[in-house]
Structure 1
Amino acid sequence: METYDALLASIAPASGETRTILDPATGQAVGDAPIHGVEDLDRAVAAAQAAQPAWAALGHDARSAALLKAADAVDRAAEELARLLSREQGKPLNGPNARFEVGACSAWLRATASIPMEPETVVDDGETHAEMHYRPIGVVGAIGPWNWPMMIAVWQLAPALRMGNAVVVKPSEYTPLSVLALVSILNQELPDGILSVVSGGREVGARLAEHPAIGKIMFTGSTATGKAIIRSSAGTVKRLTLELGGNDAGIVLPDADPKTIAEGLFWGAFINTGQTCAALKRLYVHDDIYDDVCEALTTVAAAMPMGVGLDEANVLGPLQNRQQFDIVARLVEAAKDSGARVLLGGNPDPDQPGFFYPTTLVADIDNGNPLVAEEQFGPALPIIRYRTVDEAVAMANALDVGLGASVWSADPAEARKVAARIEAGTVWINSHGGVHPMIPFGGVKQSGYGVEFGVDGLKSLGVPQVING
């Protein structure tokens, strides 16, 4: 086990231009990140090209064994990684936050290593025998976000490596240290060159998307950036998996028990202080139980402590950056100006250090209000009243995104009927946002395309080849 200081030292730049990363909860310096440029990216891609054939030649069993060893390395450094993540991203150590995220990294590595991947016989009729195989793509570019920087990096790199590719990771400029540290730990158990990280700005991301030696881009982030990647990648006809913006709806049916579902609703909306693509961001509640759901949810939300992440008591943290704080503040002010009823929060303390926005619940709000129609990506949840299920489904489907959604009911069969009418890549019943390494995950409409996780996720990191004969 290495110390926190040793972990930081292992990723400290030896030379070149650097940028100091600040803790969003306190404003204190966390560490210095290198500022890599296009030349650094080109060198990393060249090294990946050179290392990839030998890695591919090892086969699935040997690559899976290496991923298992990498998972063990993450576990050995888990507490140090969690402390760095908490300081850089802002999320608390406890709750479904920093320690949870680091644990998910090792769990996903192990799950990805364990998925069987055999050739598929597609026709065998006595005259024709055809098998589907999946060959490595070559070099994969992974571009990650700042909200779950370590976990989403593993979601991208683990299946890419398992399928025999080399990977070049480009982390968010807001959270480079977490990803640099994670890759440093993983590389204790991986061959040289097959996994690298380039910590740069938009020009590095743009070069990655257009680089002729990159065969696929994995991207999680905003729809606007996803569209830019599509344009940049078109010249080389890259494969893409895009997990883009969402504005997930939840529908509470009239038979639901408000007190029973309140905690699930809270964590569906406020996990990672609302900074999650597949978080519950619009809650539609039937008129019969509307006031009771508002009351039960307010009671749960008011009891959840928010503060500096290294304080073991906290389960909610700050927004990660000023830009996101300003977006949330603008949207909540728009709701207040419209006459919506603030049940909790909505009043950030201007004298408090850090980007803390209080847990906010807003009731009696119109479905067209900006707080509902735009993705707030923070700790503010609008609660919209409806009178018929048809009305709720129409409102849920009205936007041009469709990552996730949920239906809440005492009758799971009825909930599944409603779920089938919702335009979203995943619809949860009586929960929201949970993912599983064996269950495919991806969006519809402008929430992106392609799926991650499970066998389908592995296939998306390979090139299909039919052997016929």
Structure 2
Amino acid sequence: MDFGSRPELRFLEDLGLQATNQGCYGGGEWRAGGKSVSSLSPASNQPIATVIEGSLEDYERSLKACESARESWMLTPAPKRGEIVRQIGDAFRKNLENLGRLISLEMGKILVEGIGEVQEVIDMCDFAVGLSRQLSGLILPSERPNHMMMEVWNPLGIVGVITAFNFPCAVLGWNACIALVCGNCVVWKGAPTTPLVSIATTKIIAGVLERNGLPGAIFTCICGGAEIGEAIAKDSRIPLVSFTGSSKVGQIVQCHVNSRFGKCLLELSGNNAIVVMDDADLSLAVRSVLFAAVGTAGQRCTTCRRLFVHQAIYKDFIEKLVTAYGQLKVGDPLKHDSLVGPLHSSQSKQAFEQGLEAIASQGGKFLTGGVGTTTSPGENYVTPSIVEISHDADVVKEELFGPLLYVFQFKTLDEAIAMNNSVPQGLSSSIFTKSHETIFKWIGPTGSDCGIVNVNIPTNGAEIGGAFGGEKATGGGREAGSDSWKQYMHRATCTINYGKTLPLAQGINFN
């Protein structure tokens, strides 16, 4: 396999990738003794390069090195840690387009989304740099004379990060940028099907550590399968595990981490809905639903999977939406005119097709796409589908990872809210309306039960400044902005007696 003879792959050399790559970076060196796997392009199912995965022995060696680097990084002043993260952001800026192209090549999302994912990491670095000078606790009044109370925030030590294929770079950035400025070493396992993105991302970060004379063990990357993820979940040396993936696997991870009294940050399944009221701006709503439903070929956790349209505008709105679907260009994600790329793997396509059959068997009526509309075998492209079905159907309660949109009618806002909240998941939701009364009910205590509650924007495309995450079967975790940093540190309530007597709280006299 020669990148030089394949012009479309030459950018991989600029990222430091080779035809065969070591898939474990631990203790500042690349060394892996696991099995060899091929990274496949979703657009063709053809191999891009080979990766030697890390073994459990590699994991143990890497964790020991990480432990040895932990204390020095914890004692590095937070603004100095922020300076390192600033340099990491600059390194990603230099590799913005090439890394974005690799994400499109290996994950399958269209090029603008691949580049946008790298930009998200850059934005997180900028956010974390500012945060490094604001990791502040409270000063609290004491009821005892000559006493002062304060909150002190200290690093956890090591943070484990397990990410999914659909955002093979950005979700690492959400966690690692914050974890690093908070004083933690990071141990990362990316998705087994996107190892090249994991390696390229790690090379960028490792280069910054090396140029600053810092231990490479501050950041560890191990490519591998479920056995590496299980090792991270069970490892008592890792106080916090951030896991992104399905609710089913998330429950297993949570059980392992909880059994050793660790902390878990879960970002799991979404079954997101958009509500379109009869006073909505229909043009804005159609464009938003289109992007929310088919962006990343429906493989975002924030993808819109359920659409509730007021009965007064239902027919007109659905006609406009079906027309918009007819204008979608499904094709090679690296071509600039493609709006929808392939599903990530042949297994993803098979699961999508089986899902369409289940929908048909439960009375679904396809308005676009449907069973038998996918492309030829050997490729992972599918036709974005719209289906009318009862909102009580079993398939509606589950997340089918692909460009599938269920559509329903409703009469009242209360009915729409009830349907929005009727599924096990609770990640993202959105409503389109011009009514202030409707808006404030939607975002209030009897409105949407999701962690992300939008108005007049899609369910996807979240900014990094706000905390990202959801409720119920979505796991309850929060990543990225706001005060999410507190999850990566532990709080110590400190009371200082600067007097010469020992008064006790609650007026207790122990003399």
- Residue 13 (structure 2) pairs with residue 5 (structure 1): yes
SS at match of 1:367: coil
AA aligned to 2:56 is: V
Identity of matched residues, %: 28
Query: 2:369 and 2:16 mapped to 1: Cα distance?
Result: 36
Change beyond 3 A, Cα 1:49–1:15: closer
Matching residue of 1:382: 406
Given that 2:120 and 2:464 are in contact with CA atoms closer than 8 Å, whether structure 1 keeps it comes out as: no
Change beyond 3 A, Cα 1:236–1:334: closer
Matching residue of 2:314: 290
Deviation above 4 Å: which 4+ runs of structure 1?
Answer: none
Give the superposition deviation at 1:386: 1.4
Query: 1:3 and 1:373 mapped to 2: Cα distance?
Result: 42
AA aligned to 1:381 is: L
Matching residue of 2:136: 118
Give the superposition deviation at 1:366: 0.6
User: Aligned runs of 1:13-24 on 2, under 5 Å?
Assistant: 13=22, 16=33, 17-24=35-42
Change beyond 3 A, Cα 1:15–1:417: closer
* 177-186 or 414-423, which deviates more: 414-423
Matching residue of 1:331: 355
Change beyond 3 A, Cα 1:320–1:3: closer
User: Aligned runs of 1:413-428 on 2, under 5 Å?
Assistant: 413-420=437-444, 421-428=447-454
AA aligned to 1:134 is: W
Query: 1:255 and 1:151 mapped to 2: Cα distance?
Result: 36
Change beyond 3 A, Cα 1:105–1:57: same
AA aligned to 2:17 is: A
SS at match of 2:431: strand
Query: 2:357 and 2:317 mapped to 1: Cα distance?
Result: 23
* 426-435 or 132-141, which deviates more: 426-435
Residue 343 of structure 1: which of 338, 345, 367 is its match? 367
AA aligned to 1:66 is: I
Unaligned stretches of 5+ in structure 1?
none
* 325-334 or 346-355, which deviates more: 346-355
- Residue 389 (structure 2) pairs with residue 360 (structure 1): no
Matching residue of 1:454: 481
AA aligned to 1:430 is: N
Matching residue of 2:122: 106
1:289-329 per-residue CA deviation (whole Å, 9 max, x = no partner) reads 11122122222222221111111211211111223222222
Matching residue of 2:182: 163
1:385-418 per-residue CA deviation (whole Å, 9 max, x = no partner) reads 1122222222211122111111111224422312
SS at match of 2:51: strand
User: Aligned runs of 1:301-320 on 2, under 5 Å?
Assistant: 301-320=325-344
Matching residue of 2:428: 404
Matching residue of 1:152: 171
Residue 430 of structure 1: which of 426, 441, 456 is its match? 456
* 278-287 or 126-135, which deviates more: 126-135
Change beyond 3 A, Cα 1:3–1:331: closer
Given that 2:333 and 2:341 are in contact with CA atoms closer than 8 Å, whether structure 1 keeps it comes out as: yes
- Residue 223 (structure 2) pairs with residue 199 (structure 1): yes
Given that 2:397 and 2:424 are in contact with CA atoms closer than 8 Å, whether structure 1 keeps it comes out as: no
Given that 2:233 and 2:256 are in contact with CA atoms closer than 8 Å, whether structure 1 keeps it comes out as: yes
Change beyond 3 A, Cα 1:370–1:25: farther
Query: 2:410 and 2:360 mapped to 1: Cα distance?
Result: 20
Given that 2:55 and 2:224 are in contact with CA atoms closer than 8 Å, whether structure 1 keeps it comes out as: yes
* 165-174 or 383-392, which deviates more: 383-392
1:10-41 per-residue CA deviation (whole Å, 9 max, x = no partner) reads 68227643101110111121111222121111
Give the superposition deviation at 1:332: 2.2
* 51-60 or 163-172, which deviates more: 51-60
Given that 2:273 and 2:308 are in contact with CA atoms closer than 8 Å, whether structure 1 keeps it comes out as: yes
Change beyond 3 A, Cα 1:337–1:165: same
Residue 47 of structure 1: which of 57, 65, 74 is its match? 65
AA aligned to 2:462 is: V
Given that 2:234 and 2:256 are in contact with CA atoms closer than 8 Å, whether structure 1 keeps it comes out as: yes
SS at match of 1:463: strand
- Residue 466 (structure 2) pairs with residue 466 (structure 1): no
Residue 143 of structure 1: which of 162, 166, 169 is its match? 162
Query: 1:292 and 1:275 mapped to 2: Cα distance?
Result: 28
Given that 1:416 and 1:429 are in contact with CA atoms closer than 8 Å, whether structure 2 keeps it comes out as: no
Given that 2:16 and 2:203 are in contact with CA atoms closer than 8 Å, whether structure 1 keeps it comes out as: no
Given that 1:81 and 1:102 are in contact with CA atoms closer than 8 Å, whether structure 2 keeps it comes out as: yes
* 230-239 or 368-377, which deviates more: 368-377
SS at match of 2:340: coil
User: What's the TM-score, normalizing by structure 2?
Assistant: 0.87
SS at match of 1:249: strand
For the pair shown, the structure with the greater C-alpha radius of gyration is 2
Query: 1:235 and 1:126 mapped to 2: Cα distance?
Result: 39
Change beyond 3 A, Cα 1:92–1:352: farther
Given that 1:258 and 1:289 are in contact with CA atoms closer than 8 Å, whether structure 2 keeps it comes out as: no
* 219-228 or 253-262, which deviates more: 253-262
SS at match of 1:428: strand
Give the superposition deviation at 1:455: 4.3
SS at match of 1:34: strand
Give the superposition deviation at 1:260: 2.6
Matching residue of 2:153: 134
Change beyond 3 A, Cα 1:455–1:467: farther
Query: 1:133 and 1:436 mapped to 2: Cα distance?
Result: 29
Matching residue of 2:87: 69
Give the superposition deviation at 1:464: 0.6
Query: 1:260 and 1:104 mapped to 2: Cα distance?
Result: 24
Give the superposition deviation at 1:208: 0.7
Query: 1:172 and 1:211 mapped to 2: Cα distance?
Result: 19
